[in-house]
Amino acid sequence: MILRLALLLAIAGPLAAADPVTRVAADPVTRVACGSCYKPRSDRGIWPVIASTRPDLFLFMGDNVYADTEDMTVMRKDYAELTRRPDFIEFRKAVPILPIWDDHDYGANDAGAEYPMREASQKVFLDVFGFPANHPARSRPGVYHSFVTGPAGKRLQVILLDTRYFRSALVQRRIDGRKTYLPNNDPTATMLGEAQWRWLESELRKPADLRLIVSSIQVITTEHRFEKWANLPRERQRLFDLLKRTASNRVILLSGDRHLAEFARLSSKESGLAHDLVELTSSGLTHAGAPNDSNRHRIGERYPGLNFGTLAIDWTPESPVVTLAIRDHKGIVVQEETVRFAK
């Protein structure tokens, strides 16, 4: 299949094209799977289950292993537990993978720019996932990257953000005996760093008929005490302002981290955008069960069990219709949400 070959070349092998992150494929992407938070030793057979949904690509959204180390030898050994699994090897042969990291595969719990081994960790990440020598992520700090594929009118863009390498320190306090992150309103605090912000704007100005923005941590929710974009509220609003300025009207947000799955919606009135934003959080490929924190933006119920996400894209209408699904460890749909965009 032309699409599969193009995607596999873009991530896993040497490239002859000048732009290694864009492929104009004959066939549009119609099925995407996503997930995060994976411990090889706890795997109950998730890769064949994901493969059974026949995705055109898989978005590995962070905590792809749990290394939590400053020793790169240890980190490579932890990755090897994933990459040497026969079922993952077969999955990787069949399904192109677009990865981004979160804190535990970056190197330390809740870490940002202060992590001392971030440069070495970046090299390990890019090596493990087979980024070719001429990929842009090889020549700049951070592992953010993007992919554009599909014919005109059915062109999909996937933007994967690095919320670790540049992120400023978080503000925390003990509340009721628990570590709680509070909003940091320092105007110099950053989530993405200026270089990545400039890159993101340039990506959003590329032509695309549907955009998936992957953030390892949740974007929409504001209430729970853990990591989220709302811990840096100026940066969160900057993201919404950028989407508005670039007229990015067909965007779906995807995130992981939380050890649960849920949908969230941010109204256009609250964000300032011309349309509502929908976010699918899929977290817990091998472990889940986070507490039921309040989330006023949640659609339906949270799902606390092992899970992965899928997106079915219908390009038939004038504007794409996307059916988002939360699936359990057997692949059974436990919740769905359909996103329709204005013409």
pLDDT single digits (tens) 177-226: 889 999 999 999 999 999 999 999 999 999 999 999 999 999 999 999 99
DSSP string, 178-218: EEEEE----TT--SS-HHHHHHHHHHHTS--SEEEEEESS-
What is the band of 10 on the pLDDT scale with cuts at 50, 70, 90?
very low
Query: What are the pLDDT digits (tens) for 224-242?
Result: 999 999 999 999 999 999 9
The single-letter DSSP state of residue 82 is H
Considering the domain boundaries, does residue 18 fall inside one?
Answer: no
Residue 17 in domain: no
107 and 121 Cβ atoms separated by less than 8 Å: yes
∠ CA 298-249-103, nearest 5°, is 55
Q: Tell me: the pLDDT tens digits for 48-57? A: 999 999 999 9
Tokens of 299: 């659609």
Q: Assess if residue 20 is contained within a domain.
A: no
Higher-confidence position of 11 and 143? 143
Query: Is residue 305 assigned to a domain?
Result: yes
What is residue 136's DSSP assignment? G
Q: How far is CA 206 from the centre of its chain?
A: 19
Query: Does some domain include residue 19?
Result: no
Does residue 56 lie within any of the structural domains? yes
CA atoms within 13 A on the CB side of 100: 27
Mean pLDDT of the residues in the chain: 92
Q: Is residue 160 part of a domain?
A: yes
Give 117 or 275, the one with higher predicted confidence: 117
The whole domain housing 100 covers 2-9+25-340
pLDDT at 13 over 50: no
Is-contact 295 224, C-beta < 8 A? yes
- Residue 2 pLDDT exceeds 50: no
Quickly count: other Cβ atoms within 10 Å of residue 172's Cβ: 14
- What pLDDT is recorded for position 25? 67
- Reply yes or no on whether the pLDDT at 9 is more than 60: no
**pLDDT exceeds cutoff 50 at 84:** yes
Of the listed ranges 59-63, 93-97, 176-180, 199-203, the least confidently predicted one is 176-180
Quote the tokens at residue 64: 């792809």
Residue with tokens 């390498």: 165
CATH number, domain of 232, equals: 3.60.21.70
Number of domains comprising the chain: 1
- β-bridge partners, 210: 156
Q: Read off the tokens for 297.
A: 């933006």
Burial group, residue 343, by CB count within 10 angstroms (0-12, 13-18, 19+): exposed
Q: How confident is the model at residue 102 (pLDDT cuts 50, 70, 90)?
A: very high
The predicted structure's pLDDT at residue 292: 85
Residue 112 lies in a domain: yes
pLDDT of residue 24: 55
CA 102, CA 163: separation in Å to the nearest integer?
7
Condensed to tens digits (0 to 9), the pLDDT of residues 256-310 reads 999 999 999 999 998 888 889 999 999 999 999 988 888 999 999 999 999 999 9
> Percent of the chain at pLDDT above 90?
86
